[in-house]
Structure 1
């Protein structure tokens, strides 16, 4: 198994181009025109070649799945040199269920693509600005390193 992060990012860009709106109560993957942050990222990574799980993942269940899918934990609540394809998860593990967490993928070393409530869909934003606006939540950063 190989995860192609460019394909995953292309999936996120397609969600944005298709004007998918934000919802935590729909299919969460974009399939019904709605998605949430974790459903969008999970489905994008699957589109890039990551293994399909039994259910759509959330910010709590995504950690272990990323590790078994060839990603490595780069940082836990400390700075790291971000790069295209890095996956971030906000919210301390065990406390990030529902609206308590957030996730997205870096498209550059400072910009992210993510499905979010404040833009009612998928948007590209500066990570540091968005993180500061969100009151600097606890975070994790993962990078694909191979299977």
Structure 2
């Protein structure tokens, strides 16, 4: 599973992309934290009851659809679906007990603070028998701060309400960070590097005993937080400057098997590279449920072969069982997943996957 913070931030970004006011989003998240038991899981089942999802829908006219979609899709996809379902007010769930319309609530036309909006959402949309408002107010310190990502629309200045963080806590980018961003975005630095200008991969013809994760983990620890995601600059994986998902996995295979291969494979050509190394595909399919354990050296490829080029595919590698490592666009760099299943849950954009092992 992904973390609560990742789920919470993604829900906030989905709501912001729908044009909601940021203060309204905080109110909705305060309720979601309370209702989901602090998990923000789209498959959260009420203990001893029938309520379901992040906002614990119960006996909704489309209850079956809510449950079915969450259980048959990726975690990320289900979070987005439930956010859209809530915003679209399907079916008409809002009753203006707080004296404002659904549209006024979504856009905070009255410029209310988060606490009042949390109460308004609770009594007009949630409508619990016992509101337990203090629990929802306490959730504020659990959902803040929020990574708003690149979601569009929304906005609004009255985010904090009567417990708005002091202005001294606001962080501005340092000069070093600004220069780093300039370096990443400069056209010159997004041109592919010439592999001939980089250090050769360590030779040796293959690690004794199979895959050697020591140089791979050393690479990750050295470049995590510095290497950034770039398809045009995927050859930057050699210098630790930039990479895409498949160039990262390619280089991990080069390092792990101590060979002199300098080819940076794609999600399409990785299949043959793995087979050449003696790997076998032990599970594949459209149902993203892993049935086999992931050993160090195992590789996951997402996207049906023949249509997984570019954004149509993704890949990760197990560098320390059972954890999966990748380089991805969302993180703008390197990331670790607790398990192969967590990797499958979070990377939702493809409809087919492969598990390779030796």
TM-score, length-scaled by structure 1: 0.81
> Which is greater in Rg?
2
Tell me if the contact between 2:297 and 2:357 (Cα under 8 Å) persists in the aligned partners.
Answer: yes
Instruction: Please identify, of 111-120 and 123-132, the stretch whose mean Cα deviation from structure 2 is larger.
Output: 123-132
Equivalent residue for 2:354, pick from 129, 134, 140: 140
Given candidates 238, 241, 246, the residue that maps to 1:33 is 241
User: For structure 1, which runs of at least 5 residues remain unmatched after alignment?
Assistant: none
Q: Which SS does the other structure have where 1:105 is aligned? A: strand
CA distance in 1, matches of 2:270, 2:344: 19
Cα deviations by residue, 1:89-109 (Å, 9 ceiling, x for unpaired):
000111100111111112333
Displacement of 1:50: 5.7
Unaligned runs of 5+ in 2: 1-204
Q: How many residues align?
A: 143
**1:82-136: CA deviation from partner (whole Å, max 9, x where unpaired):** 2232111000111100111111112333x31110011100011234344223336
Pair 1:118-2:326 in alignment: no
Choose from 268, 272, 296 the match for 1:64. 272
Shift of 1:38: 0.5
RMSD of equivalent CA atoms = 2.4
Change (3 A) 1:58 1:87: same
Asked if 2 retains the 8 angstrom alpha-carbon contact of 1:90 and 1:96, the reply is: yes
More helix by share: 2
Distance 1:11 1:123, change over 3 A: same
Equivalent runs, 1:1-147 vs 2, <5 Å? 1-2=205-206, 3-7=210-214, 9-10=216-217, 12-14=219-221, 16-17=223-224, 19-26=226-233, 27-31=235-239, 33-49=241-257, 51-53=259-261, 55-77=263-285, 79-106=291-318, 107-109=320-322, 111-126=323-338, 127-135=340-348, 137-144=351-358
- Contact map agreement 2:300 2:356 (CA 8 A) in 1: yes
